[in-house]
Each structure stands twice: as structure tokens, then as C-alpha cells.
């Protein structure tokens, strides 16, 4: 067994998207090989409705999948194919944009005015970029939860973990998407297939991820005199942790516990040409997509 090294930790950065939604971006529009097959990750948490209720009006997607996970509040959505619906707290929508779709998402706060959710973009390989769009809407009740003897709780959104299989399937990158809570003062190990790229996103509490070079006997004994222990402290939330190669991740929770997403997927290893929410393999394919938008041929008719 080998601990995955912690390549980088960084705080998600505030930005605005849509019609003026204030959110925090953990990564996006950077070197796409860093977290291939994942392209972008946004945390849209806010308790000021004026900062999110204008939402994300009609916009195009092609060549990617968008994964929306709602924790608080609701998100009304609709698209150019006539699909409409509402995501509630704990619900997930996995949208395969494929050949092209126009989409809108309008968030609303809960009874206290709070809105919290995440959106992850996953790339599609060239062979699937022009497939027919499809949705997988999953309610909170359909997402399995595994609780360990020490109180560690894992929601399995997609992939297999601790004997449970997430309800989302047929995804190109075969990802594992877990929502994990580790109670206070616990050290836990989570297995990840070595072929996958992986990251964690801490959004509640605090903890530390053990680095690969830490000596096994003193992994979390920071108080040991004269010994340097390589852990990455996460003193607050909205922290991205990018891992290197290995088959396990070890986390030590802080005094209030720690909650984080642990996400991994098989890299696609293909060229990426990127223009906002349209991601193809070549600049010529991007030009074709923009021409399709201009000519009204972006959306393929239903058969």
C-alpha cells in the first residue's frame, strides 16, 4: 500500500458567474492535465439571496458532463430539449451535455435563505463528445450512506465504496464521488485505485491529510520533539487538496471533525480545446460549435 502524496493545497477563490452568482472556484480554466478528467469545480455557498438568486440563465454546453450536488436550498433547472425539474437538498443531477444543450439553473435559498451546492465539470473523450444529451436526476433518498463503527459517514454518489454502489452510472470517466464526514479526533484511510487522478475538497470542519513521506510510526504526532512530520493542515473549509499517485489517502480529523468530498476518475489523456462551457479536442471543433450556436444548429433534433 502507498499513501498518495499531497501535491498541492489551495483555498477556493471567490468569483462571479451566471447573472451575478457569488461563488468560490477550487479549480477551473487551468492546465487541464492536472486533474484530468475533471475540468472545473465550483462551490456555490451563500446566505445572501441577492448574491445568487439571479442564477445561471440560458447557456450552452457541449463535450462535457456537469455534476450538480445540492446541500441546502433548491435549484430549478430547464433545458432546450424541454426537460425541467428541481433539485432539493441532498439531490444530484448528472448531465451529459454531449453534442450540445442549452441549459439554465436558478438557485433558491432554504427557509433561512441559505444556498449551498457544488458543480463539477467532467470531460468527455472524443468518441463521446457528440453523443445525445441525457440526464441522471438522483434524489437524496437514492444515495447510499455507509456509517463505520467510529461514526465516519460516507455518501456514495457514484462508484463503489465499502460495499455500496452509487446510483449514477454510465459515466465516461468512471468516477468515484464521495461525501465523507470523519468525526473529531479520528484517523481514517480511504482506498483509491492507483490509475485514477484524485482530489479532496474540504467544506466543513478541519483536519490534516498525511503526506507520502511521513514516517509511518509518527504520522500525526506533531508534538514529537525533533521530528518533522509531513502532514498538510487544513485549518478551515473551502480547501482543495490535489493528490499524486498512490492507492490510499489518510486523513486526521480536527476537534470538530472534518467533512470533505473525495473525487477521483480515470484520466482521458486527450488534447483539450476549451471555450467556456464548450470543451472539444481541437480549435476547429470549437469554431464549429460557435458557428452552430450562431446558425441555430447547436442543438440536434430529437429522433
Query: Binning pLDDT at 50, 70 and 90, where does residue 302 land?
Result: low
Q: How many CB atoms lie within 10 A of CB 215?
A: 12
pLDDT in tens, 237-279: 789 999 999 999 999 999 999 999 999 999 999 999 999 999 9
In the predicted structure, residue 218 carries a pLDDT above the cut 70: no
Average pLDDT estimate for 118-139: 93
Is the whole-model pTM more than 0.75?
yes
Task: Pick one of 2.60.120.10, 3.30.1230.10, 3.20.20.70, 3.40.50.1370 as the CATH number of 6-265.
Answer: 2.60.120.10
pLDDT value for 235: 44
Write down the domain spans for the chain: 6-265
In the predicted structure, residue 232 carries a pLDDT above the cut 80: no
CB 275 within 8 A of CB 60: no
* Nearest-10 Cα torsion for 287, 288, 292, 294: 30
Average pLDDT estimate for 218-229: 37
Query: Binning pLDDT at 50, 70 and 90, where does residue 214 land?
Result: low
What gap in Å lies between CA 49 and CA 72, rounded to an integer? 13
More confident call, 96 vs 215: 96
What gap in Å lies between CA 244 and CA 277, rounded to an integer? 27
Average pLDDT estimate for 141-166: 95
Amino acid at each position: 500500500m502507498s499513501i498518495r502524496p499531497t501535491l498541492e493545497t489551495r483555498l477556493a477563490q471567490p468569483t462571479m458567474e451566471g447573472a451575478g452568482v457569488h461563488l468560490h472556484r477550487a479549480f477551473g480554466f487551468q492546465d487541464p492535465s492536472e486533474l484530468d478528467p475533471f475540468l472545473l469545480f465550483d462551490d456555490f455557498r451563500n446566505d445572501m439571496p441577492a448574491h445568487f438568486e439571479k442564477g445561471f440563465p440560458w447557456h450552452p454546453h457541449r463535450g462535457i458532463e456537469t455534476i450538480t450536488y445540492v446541500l441546502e436550498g433548491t435549484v430549478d433547472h430547464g433545458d432546450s430539449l424541454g426537460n425541467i425539474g428541481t433539485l432539493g437538498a441532498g439531490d444530484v443531477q448528472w448531465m451529459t451535455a454531449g453534442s450540445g444543450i442549452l441549459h439554465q439553473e436558478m438557485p433558491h435559498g432554504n427557509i433561512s435563505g441559505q444556498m449551498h451546492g457544488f458543480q463539477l465539470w467532467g470531460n468527455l473523450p472524443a468518441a463521446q463528445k457528440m453523443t445525445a444529451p441525457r440526464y441522471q436526476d438522483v434524489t437524496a433518498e437514492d444515495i447510499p450512506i455507509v456509517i463505520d463503527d467510529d461514526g465516519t459517514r460516507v455518501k456514495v454518489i457514484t462508484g463503489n465504496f465499502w460495499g455500496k454502489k452509487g446510483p449514477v452510472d454510465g459515466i465516461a470517466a468512471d468516477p468515484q464521488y464521495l461525501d465523507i464526514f470523519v468525526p473529531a479526533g479520528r484517523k481514517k484511510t480511504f482506498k483509491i485505485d492507483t490509475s485514477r487522478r484524485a482530489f479532496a475538497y474540504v467544506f466543513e470542519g478541519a483536519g490534516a491529510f498525511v503526506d507520502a513521506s511521513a514516517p509511518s510510526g509518527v504520522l500525526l504526532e506533531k508534538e514529537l520533539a525533533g521530528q518533522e512530520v509531513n502532514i498538510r493542515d487544513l485549518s478551515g473549509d473551502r480547501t482543495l487538496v490535489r493528490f499524486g499517485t498512490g492507492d490510499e489517502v489518510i486523513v486526521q480529523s480536527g476537534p470538530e471533525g472534518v467533512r470533505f468530498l473525495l473525487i477521483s476518475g480515470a484520466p482521458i489523456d486527450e488534447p483539450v480545446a476549451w471555450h467556456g462551457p464548450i470543451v472539444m479536442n481541437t480549435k476547429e471543433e470549437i469554431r464549429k460549435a460557435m458557428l452552430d450556436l450562431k446558425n441555430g444548429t447547436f442543438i440536434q433534433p430529437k429522433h
